[in-house]
Amino acid sequence: MHATVLPYRLPLKLPWVAARTTLTERLGALLHLIDADGHEGWGDCAPLPSGGDPQRVIDALAAWACRPAAAEFDALPCEARWAIETAQADLAAQRQAKPLWRHLGGSCNGIAVNAALGPLDAGLPDRYAQAAAQGFRIGKIKVGLASVEEEIARLFALPRTLCLRLDANRSWDESEARRFLFAIRALPIDAVEEPLAQPSLETLAALQAALPYALALDESLPGFSLAALTESRAVRRLVVKPARLGGIRATRRIAQAARDAGIELVLTTVIDSAIGVAATAHLAAALSPDLAHGLGTSAWLADDLAAPPAIVGGVLQLPETAGLGFTPAAARGGG
């Protein structure tokens, strides 16, 4: 097995604003594996600055690539493990002459995705209208960036064309969260992610019981045991980034536990490259094909490593070709 790590730096068309970080580019690296039969497998390692120094993660992946048989897999950063498992699964699917989604257990090559609409700023109405015209059913909006009252007013000023998936990124105390969550009950809400700055299972459970839509956890997940989450059913939905969980096997474990507890599972990326988006989409098609997933972010990139998966009418199309089905057009060095 030959392994190579190819760094990249992808600029964004516009800054990606969240409550605690603003991205203007995506720094990462591709893992390229070639097996004895000449099959080529690809994996994307795209750590976020909020998780520490991205270069440290890329260096760890490069060190693994030098001695893949001897390296300790479980000690690697989670984004590096995701890249390795993705590339290995790509190879395994090619050997079976199956698309990756089928190799992983999926039965459908199209999954719904939400439109990534960004923050509640002056440009949102235009982005909202464009997403509706393109056939999306759900639009994801970043909230918690202005006052609660201002954001409530802006949401009520939008048309009722799309169902809204709102992400507060842990911006509010309990009082602010209650004001916001109860005020928007009349709107078409799919879910609200991470409403509490200091979430507890008890507070979330009380809120969830009083709301007609799903509350969801994303970045708070590492703070709770999976058993406590599923037993308390404090939220109706978990939002997971396979890259942050450490790969395919870790995501499968959470998916099974959530399914057993009747909790929904949504997979998402953070403006990853076409390779990372494709890998997550293949996994989503296998684990949770009936929900809309957070994978419609490629349009935010000014440059990409390959043509991203096509989205038609709000549905991301996966290939029938063997493996991942997405190969970088050319190697790109870090700048």
Which residue is it, tokens 């790509």?
A: 90
Kindly state the tokens that stand for 68: 């893949």
Mean pLDDT of 236-254: 95
Is 269 found in the same domain as 171?
yes
Distance CA 62, CA 74 (A): 15
The pLDDT value given to residue 335: 39
Residue 308 DSSP label = P
* Residue range 20-41: mean pLDDT, rounded: 91
Distance CA 163, CA 187 (A): 8
- CATH number where 24 lies: 3.30.390.10
Asked whether 28 and 46 are in contact (CB, 8 A), the reply is: yes
Q: Render pLDDT for 35-72 as a digit per residue (tens, 0 to 9).
A: 999 999 999 999 988 778 899 999 999 999 998 766 68
- Asked if the structure places residue 326 within a domain, the reply is no
Q: Do 69 and 126 belong to one domain?
A: no
Band the pLDDT of 29: cuts 50, 70, 90.
very high
pLDDT in tens, 283-306: 999 999 999 999 988 988 999 999
CA nearest neighbour of 119 among 141, 139, 150: 141
What pLDDT score was predicted for residue 20? 64
Beta strands, E only, 106-241: 110-119, 138-142, 163-167, 189-193, 214-217, 237-240
Tokens of 169: 């990124």
Structural domain boundaries enclosing 88: 2-97
Contact 234, 211 (CB under 8 A): no
Q: Do the beta carbons of residue 57 and residue 47 sit within 8 Å?
A: yes
User: Would 330 be classed as within a structural domain?
Assistant: no
The answer to whether residue 218 scores a pLDDT higher than 90 is yes
Same-domain pairing of 176 and 243: yes
For 233, half-sphere exposure in the C-beta direction (CA atoms, 13 angstrom radius) is 8
Choosing from 43, 74, 97, the residue where a domain stops is: 97
Positions annotated as catalytic residues are 142, 241
Same domain, 251 and 209: yes
Confidence check: pLDDT of 320 > 80: yes
pLDDT for res 210: 97
Q: Are residues 113 and 39 in the same domain?
A: no
147 and 295 part of one domain: yes
Q: What share of the chain is helix, strand, coil (3-state, %, to 5)?
A: 35, 25, 35
Which of 33, 62, 97 is the C-terminal boundary of a domain? 97
Indicate whether 141 belongs to any domain. Answer: yes
| Same domain as 152, residue 299 | yes
CATH number of the domain enclosing 190 = 3.20.20.120
In a domain, 155, yes or no: yes
The DSSP 8-state label assigned to residue 197 in this structure reads S
145-155: per-residue pLDDT in tens?
999 999 999 99
In the predicted model, is pLDDT for residue 86 greater than 70?
yes
Written as six digits, the tokens of 87 are 């590339």
Is 272 among the domain residues? yes
Cβ neighbours of residue 201 closer than 8 Å, sequence gap 6 or more: 224, 228, 229, 232, 234
Structure confidence at residue 330 (pLDDT): 52
Task: Name the more confident of 205 and 1.
Answer: 205
pLDDT recorded at residue 22: 81
Both 183 and 145 in one domain: the answer is: yes
Domain end position, chosen among 49, 64, 97: 97
State the Cα angle at 51 between 237 and 123, rounded to 5°: 65
pLDDT at 28 over 90: yes
- Is residue 235, in this structure, part of any structural domain at all? yes
For 313, phi then psi, to 5°, come to: 60, 35
Beta partners for residue 139, in sequence order: 115, 164
**Residue listed under structure tokens 């700048």:** 335
Residue range 92-104, pLDDT digits in tens: 999 999 999 999 9
CB 274 within 8 A of CB 295: no
Rounded Cα gap, residues 262 and 335, in angstroms: 45
Find the DSSP H helices in 96-160.
Answer: 100-103, 124-133, 148-156
Regarding whether 268 and 148 lie in a shared domain, the answer is: yes
User: Which is higher by pLDDT, 116 or 331?
Assistant: 116
Do 28 and 109 share a structural domain?
no
Q: By percentage, how much of the chain surpasses pLDDT 90?
A: 85
Which pLDDT tens digit goes with each residue over 184-201?
Answer: 999 999 999 999 999 999
My answer on whether 162 and 93 are in the same domain is no
In a domain, 335, yes or no: no
Amino acid identity at 113: V
Q: Is residue 242 part of a domain?
A: yes
What's the number of domains the chain is made of?
Answer: 2
Do 154 and 286 lie in a common domain?
yes
What integer is the mean pLDDT of 233-261?
A: 95
Predicted confidence at residue 319, as pLDDT, reads 93
The dihedral built from the CA positions of residue 95, 99, 100 and 105, taken in this order, carries a sign that is negative
